Structure 1
């Protein structure tokens, strides 16, 4: 039984990751952005497996308070799941610049700051892992158009995690960005390829199988290495 932290856990992939880890017997610390715990998470409470905590991933005081609340808890897997699709206007000729900045703050910067804040807790684990939910839409190996803010934030977080993997290698901490698939969520839409259950099951399975030899690689939810 491990201890798992999932950010942005109130809906979509984050919520399903919580459910999947709980079903496997893990302890889960799930964060949410709203002032009060959302019903999607409170309905899962009932045992000491699940702990809920508010977290605004762009607020340093909120991050510090969250880290302090964990006291001497060890973290086996940190899943940086919190993210946004970005502003409505994000084309080359019609860009919401403030929205683009916010997208970077949430999708790119926050995962690094949160990981650093929880580093002492990760070091208490025998096999600590940091998974950051990215997207193949940020892969430079793929050619596609539009969604400049979202794509660039995911391309950037891929590089952030690749560098972080190198810097934390001596600490024995595995770091990998993960493409969750095109998932049927509010963000992915009804035309997406896979269900949220399929994505979460794959990500959980991947988190259990990763070794230090995998650190710094970009993976898909199926456990395949993805080209950068």
Structure 2
């Protein structure tokens, strides 16, 4: 990965899911401020668990190159669940949103990405998704992000011959509704780091799991 500059080289088109608040909203704001066309989606445009809705929205963008697809939409699910108190309905919902929703979005917009100049798909993961660093806490969320990482790695191989870079990114612990007020990073700081990482991506980085500061995270 090359050291990306503090701002992007030039404008492009980015599609960001989960852009109504938190990291997604800040991603859209920063990209727009740098002259990008930022297509920020919320549940108003489509719910990531509504696969037909995703396809319908994608049909409206047929032929539009998307330089960067940021699959950011996600939920934490119930906190504090442990053996003996698993809520499987909640767990399934987390998997539907965080894993299957991201897969559906990537599938729906892959042709748009392939038609662009930059050709990057980035999945918003979490360090909690690292199997190597597993803590045993927040199991529904952690397992959904570990599965998302597997999706990113698999798609990096499947899309390599089309020149599409696919990565999993961790935004760090961020002061959002999900991260809480005690988190050390502001959304602005996290997104600045993420954008620098994305800007520095090269083909050899496809399939990597990277922190917001560019350091690799073990699977």
Query: How many residues in Structure 1 have an aligned counterpart in Structure 2?
Result: 209
CA contact (8 A) 1:89 1:96 kept: no
Q: Which residue of 2 aligns with 1:72?
A: 63
CA contact (8 A) 2:80 2:137 kept: no
Relative to the length of structure 2, the TM-score reads 0.93
- Asked whether 1:29 is paired with 2:20, we answer no
Deviations 1:26-69 (A, max 9, x none): 111110114xxxxxxxxxxxxxxxxxxx0110111110111011
Write out the 4+ residue segments of structure 1 that deviate beyond 2 Å after TM superposition. Answer: 87-90
Q: Flag structure 1 segments of 5+ consecutive residues without an equivalent.
A: 35-53
Q: Flag structure 2 segments of 5+ consecutive residues without an equivalent.
A: 1-10
2:196 to 195, 202, 205: 205
- Asked whether 1:5 is paired with 2:23, we answer no
CA contact (8 A) 2:113 2:119 kept: yes
> How is 1:13-162 mapped onto 2 (pairs within 5 angstroms)?
13-34=23-44, 54-88=45-79, 90-162=81-153
Which of structures 1 and 2 has the larger relative contact order (alpha carbons within 8 angstroms, sep 6+)? 2
The CA distance in 2 between the partners of 1:220 and 1:31, in whole Å, is 24
CA contact (8 A) 1:90 1:100 kept: no
CA contact (8 A) 2:174 2:184 kept: yes
Relative to the length of structure 1, the TM-score reads 0.89
